[in-house]
Structure formats: C-alpha cells, structure tokens
Structure 1
Amino acid sequence: MSTTLGASHPNPAAYMLRTAASAAGRSYKQELLELLDIHAGQTALDLGCGPGTDLPALAERVGASGAVIGVDRDPAMLAEARRRTSGLPSVEIRAGDAHSLPVEPGTVDRAKIDRVLMHVTEPADVLAQLHLATRPGARIGLAEPDWDTLIVDAEDLGTSRAFTRYTTSECIRHATIGRSLARHADQAGFTVETVTATTPLFLDFQDADHTLGLGRNMQQAIADGHIDEARGRQWFASLSEGPFFASFTLVSVICSR
C-alpha cells in the first residue's frame, strides 16, 4: 500500500483549465453565464480571469459590437489568457489588481468573479471596486466555494475532519466566503437576485487529489504539526483503496447594480 503524498502544487494555469473542464466546473460556469443574461453590444468584465478560461464564451455572447475585459495580476495567467484569445478582437486583457481595477467607472454592463474573492486581501474592497466599475442596471455573477463544507469519506473520520480544518484555517485566506457571498454583495450596494448552491462530487480519487490537493495539503499539514504523520499517511493511502467520495459546497450569487 502506497503512502506517498502529493507532490508540489501543479502549474496554476494548467490546474485552473483542468478544473474548469471537469463536469462540475462546466456545469456551474454554464449556469453562471446563463444567469448573467449577456447581450450583444455589452461590455463584460471577467475579474480575475486567470488563463482566460471563460473569455471566449463571454466574447461569443457580447458579439462583434461588444467588448470583453479580462483582468488579472499574474503575468503567467495574463500571457496564457492573451494566447487563448489572440483571435478574438473583442477581448482585451489588462494587468491589474482586484483592489484597484484598471477599468473606467460606470463602463461595465456585466461582470463575473469566479473563485477569486477567497484569495484576495479584502473581499469588501474588491466588491466596492466592482460597484464603481459597473453601470446602473448592470448584472454581476459571483461564485465561491465554502471550504468549511469539504467532506472526504474515510474510516478515519477524525483525520478527515482535521484535514478540512487545516484546509479552512491554513490553506485558503477566506475559506468560508461562499456562505457570506450574498451578505458581502448586499453590503457593497448590490441588489441580490439569486443565490444558488451546488455540490461538486468527486468519485475518482485521482481527480479529487488534483483538484482538492489531498496529498499536497496533507503533506503540509503534517509538516506544520497539525496532523500526526503516521495517521495522515495512512489516511491518504486508504483513500485510493476502495470507492471514493468527497464533496464541498459552491455558492453562486447573481446581483444587480
């Protein structure tokens, strides 16, 4: 029985693209885009666009008369986004921080933030920037996980719970942003219209290890002294031995300006 834990974190762009291509990723992204109700000629903003996963779909919806702005601060993400959208004249990639958007006030008709607020320094400041950038009547889509709801089936339930606590407290800056997403949007001055929750399921150990960081986060939890090494290695090794199950809650909010 192997007790080898996960290696270092995968390439960020490749990780995001693979996650978006998964069944769970495609499902919630499609729903978010549909609820945004994007029309031809509008200006759409993808804040934290990453490697440009959603930019082609946004460009298709705004058409030749519209505009799509992708904003990210990571040079590698920006390079990949530019490469993926090089044949789309309606798409413009801008380098910038979510706390200081490189967007003229009141110029955006539709905007989305997808799994970005959990990483930023201050979600309230980012949403304030988004409120400034959008026009009256604009529609905004937000999607964030609640990592406190992460469950991994294992006979050693205590270690599964310890793994979730470590993920929530040490791995992600705002790990429970999903549950408070509607409240944050309301406090930023948006009108909350729709709140939905989906539960991505992982039935394949390898997929879950890649997406949820089971091995690499357990390795770090052991190194940080949060989980006993022998117990952590046994827990990880046992996950690949039989039927596998893990899940978490992903919250999506549609709001208007």
Structure 2
Amino acid sequence: MPTTLGTPSPDQAAYMLRAAADGASRAYKQQLLDLLDVRPGHTVLDVGCGPGTDLPSLAERVGDGGTVIGVDRDPAMLDRARQRTAHLPVVDVREGDAHALPVEPGTADRARIDRVLMHVADPEGVLAQLRTATRHGALIGLAEPDWDTLVVDAEDLDTSRAFTRYTASEVVRNATIGRGLARHASRAGFAVEAVLATTPVFRDFADADHMLGLGRNMQRAIGEGRIDAARGRQWFTSLSEGPFFASFTLVTVVCSR
C-alpha cells in the first residue's frame, strides 16, 4: 500500500484557477454575475479575489467608466491577480484582510465574496465589513459550499461517511456556512433577495481527488487515527476502479444593502 494517498497539496493559485474553469463553477459564477446586475460605471468589490479569477469578467461589465477592486491578503495571490489584470486599467488589486477591508465606507455599488467565508475566523464580521464598504442600494453576492452535504459513492459506505464527516468537522473551518448564508446576511443587516443552490457533480476520479482532496484528507484522517489505515487506503483505491460519483451543495445568496 502507498504511504501517501492521492495528489499532493496543490499550489493554491493554480487550484483556484482550475476550480473556476470547471463547468459547474463557470455556471454558478455566471449566474451570480447576472444576478448582481453589474452595470457600466459601477464600482465592484471582489473580496478574496485570489489569483484574479473573476476580475476580468467584472471589468468587462463595468466598462471604462467603472472600477473593480480586488482584495486578498496572500502576496502570491495578489501577484497572480496583478499579472492577469495588468492590461485592465479599471482593476485595482489591493492587499488586505476580509476582516478589515482596505476601502472607504460606502465605496461599492456591488460586492461579491465567493468561497471565502468558509475559511475566515469571523464570517459575520466579514459581512459587517461588506455592509460598511457598500453604498445604500448596493447588491451583494455570496457563494459558499456546504461541506456537510459532500457525498462520495463507494461500496464501503461506512468509510465514505467517516471521510465526509471528517472533512466537515476537521478540514474546513466553517463547513456549513453555505446553509447559513441567508441567516448570516440578515444578521449583518442585509435584505436577502434570492437564495439558490447548485450541485456540482464529479465523475472523473482524478479530477475529484485534486479538487476535493480525497487522498490528502484521507491520509490526514488516517494519521490522526480517525479512520483505520488499511480500510482508508482500500477505500481510496476502490474509487479509481469503477464509475465514480461525488457531489456537494453550493449555496448562492444575493442580498441588498
């Protein structure tokens, strides 16, 4: 049996760009962009912009008279974002934390935060920052997975359940933030306008291993004594041997200021 399961931990910028290129990701991102109704001349704030995945599409919507502000705290992500948008003068990439946004109050007509709240220390504090940074009447788009809904098909159902429980309880900081988005947004003082759910489906084992961390997280669970080593490795091996299926629920909320 191998001592290391699956693919190694990926470069985070490359991981995010690959995730955004997935068909299901493109669909929900386009849906969120349409619901935000970004118009020429708008100032749009993208919190946790990462390597700048969505900045070009936002820049196209705001036109020459608008502004797109991308914020991230990771210098490597900021470098990639600046490289990707160097030809777009309306894009302003800034270093900053989501808990202390580097923008003046009432700056943005539109704001988005995509798969970031699941990682932060204080989701409601970040939403409060978004409320401060946006103008009256602004629209805010939020998109987060609910990792408690992760399912991985395998004959060894008990090990699959142990793996998904471990992922939700130990791997992701705020694993159920998706289902609570509307509640958190309301508490932050936003009016919830729409709540939607999509279900990304993975049928390619290698792609799922890379994107969902099947092997990496199983190795971690084994190392922490949460799952028996032989059983966990057999579970992982079996996933590659036949038709593969995994999915989770991703929740999108659009709210107004």
Tell me, yes or no, whether TM beats 0.5. yes
How many Å separate the matches in 1 of 2:3 and 2:75? 36
How many Å separate the matches in 2 of 1:3 and 1:81? 36
- Unaligned runs of 5+ residues in structure 2 are none
* Residue of structure 1 equivalent to 2:172: 172
Q: What does the per-residue CA deviation read over 1:54-107, in whole Å, with 9 as the maximum and x for residues that have no partner? A: 000000000000000000000000000000000000000000000000010001
How is 1:39-188 mapped onto 2 (pairs within 5 angstroms)? 39-188=39-188
- Aligned Cα RMSD in Å? 1.0
How many Å separate the matches in 2 of 1:2 and 1:98? 39
Runs of 4+ in 1 over 6 A off after TM superposition: none
Matched, 1:193 2:193: yes
How many Å separate the matches in 2 of 1:24 and 1:216? 23
Mapped contact 2:154–2:238 kept (Cα < 8 A): yes
> Cα offset for 1:6?
1.8
**Residue-pair matches, total:** 257
> Cα offset for 1:8?
2.8
Mapped contact 2:7–2:210 kept (Cα < 8 A): no
Matching residue's letter, 2:230: A
Mapped contact 2:72–2:98 kept (Cα < 8 A): yes
> Cα offset for 1:7?
3.8
Residue 181 and residue 101 in structure 1: after superposition, are their counterparts in 2 closer, same or farther (change >3 A)?
A: same
How many Å separate the matches in 1 of 2:110 and 2:122? 22
Mapped contact 1:4–1:233 kept (Cα < 8 A): no
Mapped contact 1:3–1:236 kept (Cα < 8 A): no
Sequence identity percentage: 74
Matching residue's letter, 1:222: I
Per the normalisation by structure 2, the TM-score is 0.98
SS state at 2:138 partner: strand
Mapped contact 1:39–1:61 kept (Cα < 8 A): yes
SS state at 1:89 partner: coil
Matching residue's letter, 1:43: T
Matching residue's letter, 1:239: L
Matching residue's letter, 1:136: H
- Unaligned runs of 5+ residues in structure 1 are none
